[in-house]
Every structure is written in C-alpha cells, then in structure tokens.
Amino acid sequence: MRKWISFPKQVGTASRQAHADFPEEAIYEREAGRSGFFGPATHFHHTHAPTGWSDWEGPLRPRCFDFNQLSGTDSASPWVAPHLLFNAHCKFRIWHLNEPMKRLARNADGDDLLFVHEGAGELFCDYGHLTLRDGDYVVIPRSTNWRIEPTAPMQLVMIEATNGAYQLPDKGLVGNHAIFDPACLDVPEIDEAFKAQYSEDAWKVEVKRHGQVSVITYPYNPLDAVGWHGDLAPVRINWRDIRPLMSHRYHLPPSAHTTFVADRFVVCTFVPRPIESDPGALKVPFYHNNDDYDEVLFYHAGDFFSRDNIDRGMVTFHPAGFTHGPHPKAFKAGQEYKKKFTDEVAVMLDTRDALEFSEAAVSVENPDYVNSWKEKKE
C-alpha cells in the first residue's frame, strides 16, 4: 500500500481557493500537479507570467505543427498515413481519404479512434453500417474489418490505442448521464445499405500487426453478417452531442472534458461553453505544470480563445516538464471579460509517456512557436 505525501499548507500570500480571487499583487497563478489533474497539486502566485521567458535553448520546448501542409497522407489505405506523434502506447496520424477504400482494414495492434475533421462518408464493418459526418468520433475495436466510402473528401485524425482499448471515463459524482448520455452512442446497423454491399467478388483485407501489413484474400466480401448480439461494437458520437461540465465560479481543469480513456493516455474534447461569470473566477486556462503528461491539442473549428495565430487543422504540443498556459493577449482578454462564450472545438490527447515526432511532423513545424508567449511591445 502507498499514498501520496500530503500536507495541505499555505505559505505567504495566497488565494483561499484554486483558480479564484487572486491576490492583487500576484495575479498569475501556476498549478504544479501530479497524475494529470487527479493527484496532489500546489498553486503558486507570481508577479510575472510563468511563460514570460526571453530565450529558450534545447529540445524541450512547446511546438506547433501545421498539419494542413502535410503531403503524402492521401491514400485509400489508413496504414499508408504516416505516424506523426507516437510512443509505445499511442499513435497519432492524419489521413486524407478521397476515394472509396478498395480493401478492408483490420488493426490487430489495438483499438482505433477516428475523428472526422472534414468531409463525410459511409463506414462498413463487421457489425454493419454507419454514416459519418464532420465532428464524429468512431471507436473501432481491435481486429474489426472495416472500410469507408467517402461522400465528400475526408480528413480524419486517427489515434491508435496500441496494445490497448478505449473505454469511457468514470463520471463520479455527476453521474453516468453527464457530459454525454451513453444513449447518444450509435452502433452500426445491418441495414439496407449494408446488405447492398454483400458480394461474391474477391476482397482483400490489410491486417496491421506489429506495424507490418499482411494481406488476406477472400473469394467473397467478408462483411457478410446478417446479425449480431453482444456489448462489443464500434461506437460513434459527435462533439455536438457533448454537453460540457461548467461552473460559473470555477475554471474546470481539462480532465473534466475527458471523452475516452485508454492505457496511459486520455482523449478530451473542448466544445463551446459559457465563460465563467463570477468576478473573482479565472476565465482562461490556468498556467500549469502537468509534469506527468505530454499534451497535444488538435484544433478542429472555431476561435481558439487561449491561443494566438492558431488555425483549424493545426496541432500544438506542450511537453511535460515546463509551465504552459494562455498567450498574453488571451490572458488579458480573460481579465477584461469581454468574451462571454467560447466557440472553439478541439481534441486533446494527454499521454503519460513522452511522445516522439516523425520527420513528416517536423517538416511542418513552426519553429517560432516557442516565442509566441513573449509580450509584444506596443
């Protein structure tokens, strides 16, 4: 048995509670925490912004990638799309699909999470048929046969739970129906569209295992189920079905927006919500050292209120080991409380193990992102 060393204590001038009613002489709050936002934490009050560095040397730095500029991600096979960020438990890809998949895909390495950033299409799999649109998440269980027929050119984010599985977060005190009701999870149907693709023509299945692809040929279409029963199946939910937790008096941590959990990483979704209205409450994300997790944000749509010069389709990366938080202009706007509502949609990936970057990712990096927290002189 073990437990965290815990001795809640206050030293010097500090607020009574986290994220609210800061001392007048120290308006910058910094959270140093463990185990994501679930472990012990201390809140510092500073007279200068914790991101106010004047220079930075070395590889540990915040990074920004413009994945709109990627080349070589168009393919009828998901396994051609390159790894962009990855570790032993997680693989992050961007995949462009502009034509129907000519072969079935099967991932024997782990569950896949697809997020439809652009476009629409029809998903056919062992379990039946689902129609996809922008903003959809689809969890595809390990070793499921599947293919997609786009009805509009698609750009998909793919996050593999390598040797793992996706599950839902424990919603605790707020109950099972908070954030989204499980009744909103759609599963494939054995409908007329699915029956119409039954075929005695030969089909190939591309099976990925240990990162290598094998091809299995069938003299018929193996998507030939006439029915199924059980509690294992692909599930779909759209970000528009997510109803975020909110408090008008307290800025909730990113963990309150968790959508899926896997082994050693989580996926969260930030969707439009009211901004905190209490005069003393923090109104932008707090500066924090999330010292056990790397943080990745994929920007899907809207106005990203804590970031400057970030467009849809971009990705920011904030590694464990340094303080990060809102850009200066966003922090000032939060103090002035001019904006009453966020209109951003973003997908966050938090990984317990350090992420690596492929050459493809580095090729579209903005090396000046580390300097974006510097105060611009009028």
Q: Which helix (H) or strand (E) holds 259?
A: strand 258-262
Whole-number Å distance between alpha carbons of 221 and 197: 8
Asked if 218 contacts 203 with a C-beta cutoff of 8 angstroms, the reply is yes
The count of other CB atoms within 10 Å of the CB of residue 368 is 9
Interval 148-196: pLDDT, tens: 999 999 999 999 999 999 999 999 999 999 999 999 999 999 999 999 9
Q: Residues comprising the binding site?
A: 288, 294, 324
Domains and CATH numbers, the chain: 28-65+243-371 (2.60.120.10), 73-239 (2.60.120.10)
**Residue for token pair 């569209």:** 193
The count of other CB atoms within 10 Å of the CB of residue 356 is 12
Asked if 116 contacts 154 with a C-beta cutoff of 8 angstroms, the reply is yes
pLDDT given for residue 361 in this prediction:
96
Asked if 322 contacts 90 with a C-beta cutoff of 8 angstroms, the reply is no
Q: Residues comprising the binding site for homogentisate?
A: 324
Q: Residues comprising the binding site for Fe cation?
A: 288, 294, 324
pLDDT given for residue 113 in this prediction:
98
Largest CA distance in the chain: 76
Query: Mean per-residue pLDDT for 78-105?
Result: 97
Residue type, 43: H
Whole-number Å distance between alpha carbons of 213 and 354: 26
Average confidence score pLDDT of the chain: 93
Check residue 16 and report its DSSP letter.
S
Instruction: List alpha helices for the chain, DSSP H.
Output: 192-195, 328-336, 359-362
Length of the chain: 378
Residue 306 has pLDDT above 80, yes or no: no
Token reading at 239? 């970000």
177 catalytic per annotation: no
Q: Choose among 293, 234, 254: nearest CA to 114.
A: 234
Provide the pLDDT confidence category of residue 318 given band limits of 50, 70 and 90: very high
Of the listed 89, 96, 117, 251, which one is catalytic?
251
